[in-house]
Amino acid sequence: MATDTLTGPTIVGSATRAKVYKNFIDGEWVESVSGQTFENLNPADTRDLVGIFQRSVKADVDAAIAAAKRAYAKWRLVPAPRRAEIIYRAAEMLIERKEDYSRDMTREMGKVLKETRGDVQEAIDTAYYFAGEGRRLFGPTTPSELPNKFAMAIRQPLGVCGMIAPWNFPMAIPSWKLLPALVCGNTCVIKPAQDTPLSTYNLVKVLSDAGVPKGVVNIVSGFGADAGAPMLEHPDVRAISFTGSSSVGRTIGTTAAQSFKHCSLELGGKNPMIVLDDANLDLAIEGGLWGAFGTTGQRCTATSRIIVQKGVYSEFIERYVERAKQLKVGNGLDESIDMGPAINERQLISDLKYVEIGQSEGARLKCGGHRLDSGDLRHGFFMEPTVFVDVNPKMRIAQEEIFGPVVSIIPCDDLEDAIEIANNIEYGLSSALYTRDVNKAFAAMRDLYAGITYINAPTIGAEVHLPFGGTKATGNGHREGGLGAIEFYSEWKAVYVDYSDRLQKAQIDRVD
């Protein structure tokens, strides 16, 4: 049996050879104390076993937190520019391994290679950005109200941070959490989604290879209730960063609040794209296809509602549907494929259920709606790109996050009407407007109540140095990306240095 320190023995089954991947705790690759594992399957072809992962339990999480707590004592004292150098090295290693990691990601979660390359690239961009921040953890100095007294505010790390990630951006999202946390001097325990542990594992491996000291980053794979929940109540965890659904997010936030943990929630979306009569229609159609069907519609920022002004409504639908029908669905490892599978069977069933719901609500199914299961596709969770038209904004398909390749096209009278439809929703993550009228663009930038607005681009395409997150049920006010992440992973300490050699009383010693 082949062994290596990273993965342990290779299991040779009758039809498959799959690596066993371990947890990384205190700088060691270790098995779960549960003795149990789970399989990571390729959703494009479930005959392909991507790997076998540890099914961790509370004792594993506790061990990881204890290691992170020990490591924190030293890591917080490493100068931030030195911490940043390690992150910079990780970026360079990610570049070298980009193609392998992209292929791993396509195998474990199905999105097409050009998108998984983008996901790994996002981790690289994030690493370069936060490496730069290592020399920029600025705080204010400000005049004191008293003479011979110096006042400033410095950023302090929080301590051990617990992180729980979703499966749709399995390297990018963990990088948004781990890298700013590390540069600020925190130590981390991360639980990846059960559907995509390998990509997060690859990121942690890079960090370890780049020189992150033992115990500073720990990964514990497993299911949410077993390997995620124990972080939420643990007294030694000071912050929780969660990305996932709004329903799980509500539980996470409520539980973490009991022990006053800092808690960042990045949750669901139901993102509108508005197309006005004066829009460049070619551009809007192109953007609307990419926004709705990229990542099989499984992006929190996916374009799931297209709100089109009446003057171009018919033409938009005709041309959009024509193009949607031409999208090639299949295994994302094939470079000619446009759209991969749903992440798992449960998600596919849910997507198909929404097709039924839309039809029963009276929306017009213009294309798609079926599972694709001919030939090799029957081994995966494939579905046609699906377009509903004449959707009423109150319908469930226009209100609920589907998280699949199902888009609702809604007619509107004008910009004001479109904004009303766009905002009248539980979520507030991303939004988009296609117009050539600068006045309308600026009005929409002001009035769309969402964390992100694109003008003449679809609802997807965030860059790592800008704030990422949303309003209402999309989150609790924090932002990932850019300086928002530094804000979350540090806390302020105000420092006063009195060099007057006498007791000075703030607010009381005044010369009136």
DSSP-based helix, strand, coil % in the chain, nearest 5: 40, 25, 35
Beta strands in 95-135 (DSSP E): none
- Bridge partners (DSSP) listed for residue 468: 480
Q: How far is the CB of 192 from ligand NAP (least distance, A)?
A: 6
Nearer CB in complex with Mg ion: 46/504: 46
Number of residues that bind ligand NAP (CB under 6 A): 28
Q: Would you state the structure tokens that stand for residue 297, as one six-digit string?
A: 């519609």
Q: Is residue 145 a contact partner of residue 506, using CB atoms and an 8 Å limit?
A: yes
DSSP state of 9: P
300 is catalytic: yes
Q: How far is the CB of 194 from Mg ion (least distance, A)?
A: 8
DSSP state of 296: G
- Give the Cα separation of 87 and 124 in Å (integer): 10
Considering only residues 236 through 295, tell me which ones interact with ligand NAP, judged by CB under 6 A.
243-245, 248, 251, 266-269
3-state secondary structure of 268: coil
Pairing assessment for the beta strands 406-412 and 303-309 based on DSSP bridges: parallel
Sign of the CA dihedral 221, 224, 227, 228? positive
Considering only residues 29 through 48, tell me which ones interact with Mg ion, judged by CB under 5 A.
40
Task: Select the binding partner of residue 166 from Mg ion, ligand NAP, none (C-beta < 5 to 8 A, by kind).
Answer: ligand NAP
Considering only residues 97 through 136, tell me which ones interact with ligand NAP, judged by CB under 6 A.
none
Nearer CB in complex with Mg ion: 129/381: 381
- Annotated catalytic residue, options 108, 266, 401, 480: 266
Considering only residues 83 through 112, tell me which ones interact with Mg ion, judged by CB under 5 A.
108
Task: Select the binding partner of residue 7 from ligand NAP, Mg ion, none (C-beta < 5 to 8 A, by kind).
Answer: none
Q: Candidates 162-170, 282-290, 314-322, 415-423: pick the segment binding ligand NAP (CB under 6 A).
A: 162-170
* Residue 43 makes contact with ligand NAP by CB under 6 A: no
Sign of the CA dihedral 152, 482, 135, 68? positive
Among 21, 167, 313, 316, binds ligand NAP (CB under 6 A): 167
Nearer CB in complex with Mg ion: 108/266: 108
Q: Is residue 399 a contact partner of residue 238, using CB atoms and an 8 Å limit?
A: no
Among 43, 180, 228, 404, binds ligand NAP (CB under 6 A): 228
Nearer CB in complex with ligand NAP: 263/317: 263
Q: How far is the CB of 169 from Mg ion (least distance, A)?
A: 14
Nearest to 185, CA basis, from 496, 470, 494, 493: 493
CB atoms within 10 A of CB 303: 28
Q: In what order do the strands lie in the sheet with 271-275?
A: 364-367, 386-389, 406-412, 303-309, 271-275, 430-434, 452-455
* Residue 166 makes contact with ligand NAP by CB under 6 A: yes
Among 195, 338, 384, 480, binds Mg ion (CB under 5 A): 195
Q: Candidates 102-110, 150-158, 160-168, 377-385: pick the segment binding ligand NAP (CB under 6 A).
A: 160-168
Considering only residues 472 through 491, tell me which ones interact with ligand NAP, judged by CB under 6 A.
474
- What is the DSSP secondary-structure string of 145-170? SSTTEEEEEEEEE-SEEEEE--SSST
* Residue 53 makes contact with ligand NAP by CB under 6 A: no
CB atoms within 10 A of CB 229: 18
Q: How far is the CB of 56 from Mg ion (least distance, A)?
A: 17
Nearest to 293, CA basis, from 303, 283, 301: 303
- Give the Cα separation of 126 and 252 in Å (integer): 25
* CA–centroid distance for 12 within its chain: 34
- Alpha helices per DSSP H over 277-344: 281-293, 310-326
Q: How far is the CB of 248 from ligand NAP (least distance, A)?
A: 3
Among 66, 67, 178, 300, binds ligand NAP (CB under 6 A): 300
400 is catalytic: no
Nearest to 292, CA basis, from 277, 273, 278: 273
Q: Is residue 18 a contact partner of residue 52, using CB atoms and an 8 Å limit?
A: yes
The residues, ordered by sequence, that sit 6+ positions from 510 with a Cβ below 8 Å of its Cβ are: none
* Residue 193 makes contact with ligand NAP by CB under 6 A: yes
Nearer CB in complex with ligand NAP: 196/435: 196
3-state secondary structure of 387: strand
Task: Select the binding partner of residue 268 from Mg ion, ligand NAP, none (C-beta < 5 to 8 A, by kind).
Answer: ligand NAP
Task: Select the binding partner of residue 401 from ligand NAP, Mg ion, none (C-beta < 5 to 8 A, by kind).
Answer: ligand NAP
Nearer CB in complex with ligand NAP: 22/191: 191
- Annotated catalytic residue, options 300, 384, 401, 412: 300
Q: Candidates 135-143, 188-196, 228-236, 381-389: pick the segment binding Mg ion (CB under 5 A).
A: 188-196
Q: How far is the CB of 295 from ligand NAP (least distance, A)?
A: 10
Which helix H or strand E contains 246, and what residues bound it?
A: helix 246-258
Q: How far is the CB of 39 from ligand NAP (least distance, A)?
A: 13
* Residue 185 makes contact with ligand NAP by CB under 6 A: no
By the criterion CB under 6 A, which residues form the site for ligand NAP?
A: 164-169, 191, 193-194, 223-225, 228-229, 243-245, 248, 251, 266-269, 300, 401, 403, 429, 474
Active-site residue list = 266, 300
